[in-house]
Amino acid sequence: MLDFVYYPVSAVLWVWHTGFAVLFGAASGVSWTLAIVFLVVTVRLVLYRPFVAQVRFARTMAVLQPQIRQLQTRFADDRMRLAQEMRGLQREHKFNLLTGFLPILGQLVVFLGLYHVLRCFDHEGSNYVFSADRVHSFLHADLFGAQLSATLLNPAGALATILTLTIPLVLISATATHFTARAAIARQLESTPQTRVINPIMLWLLPVCSLLAGLIMPLGILIYFATTSSWTFLQQLYIHRKLGPIEPAGVVAGEE
């Protein structure tokens, strides 16, 4: 259904693997590991500007929340008037709800594509742009003796090595996820019933899920999770520092 995503994603992975294969060999775990890492880097660079737009939208919405709630309370019984006032607020502050929604949707689709392509390296045979030989090389590629297709529940005879690699990867993913959430919560201007429910989930449940993923996910997927989680944290930190603090008047500081 999402072949229009899977094929480009697998093509980018193929390009990076081909490049690193020149240096380390096509069957090398190092080649595949670096290909996965640089696949994430490539996609995140492509999505950089949509991510900035999403951050700007979130900052503006955070400042406007008191005004939005006032409008919702004032026109609770007049949905048409509320819609008119909301459109006026959007025009005044030059924001669009789609600005926040579309980048999230785009990132979700692409990251599902990344995950799907890597998960499809689970059997012999061709996989999107990869020939059967390339798939075979991935299935038998190892990093310090651990196959990239192996999991803790199916370690392929290298449990100690899998543990040695899995533990740091899941800790990186969980830590980056936790501090990404902590930084986002610190920027919230006020607490609401919704944030009081969502914040603990972001702070603790999602990192715990990252830890549990280490039990069932192949090593190649864990490399992807660790890379994308770290990138998200560092990119968020960079963008918010560049934009500066949120202005109380509803204007987002800084220029991109």
**What is the model's pTM?**
0.82
pLDDT tens digits for range 125-156: 888 999 989 988 888 888 888 888 888 887 76
Residue 247's pLDDT is what?
Answer: 64
Proportion of the chain above pLDDT 70, given as a percent: 89
pLDDT, tens digit (0-9, with 9 covering 90-100), for 222-241 = 999 999 999 999 999 999 88
- 10 and 43 in contact (C-beta within 8 Å)? no
* pLDDT of amino acid 246: 67
Confidence tier at 254 by pLDDT (50, 70, 90): very low
What CA–CA distance (Å, rounded) separates 72 from 82?
Answer: 7
98 against 178, higher pLDDT: 178
**Sign of the torsion formed by the C-alpha atoms of 228, 226, 162 and 214:** negative
Q: How many helices (H) and strands (E) does the chain have?
A: 10, 2
Share of the chain above pLDDT 90, in %: 27
Q: What is the mean pLDDT of the chain?
A: 83
What is the rounded average pLDDT of the residues 149-176? 85
pLDDT in the model for residue 253: 39
Structure tokens of 35? 């290909």
- DSSP states of 184-233: HHHT-SS--HHHHHHHHIIIIIHHHHHHHHHHHS-HHHHHHHHHHHHHHH
Q: Is the pLDDT of residue 196 over 70?
A: yes
Whether the predicted pLDDT of 189 surpasses 90: no
Q: Summarize the confidence of residues 168-197 as an average pLDDT.
A: 85
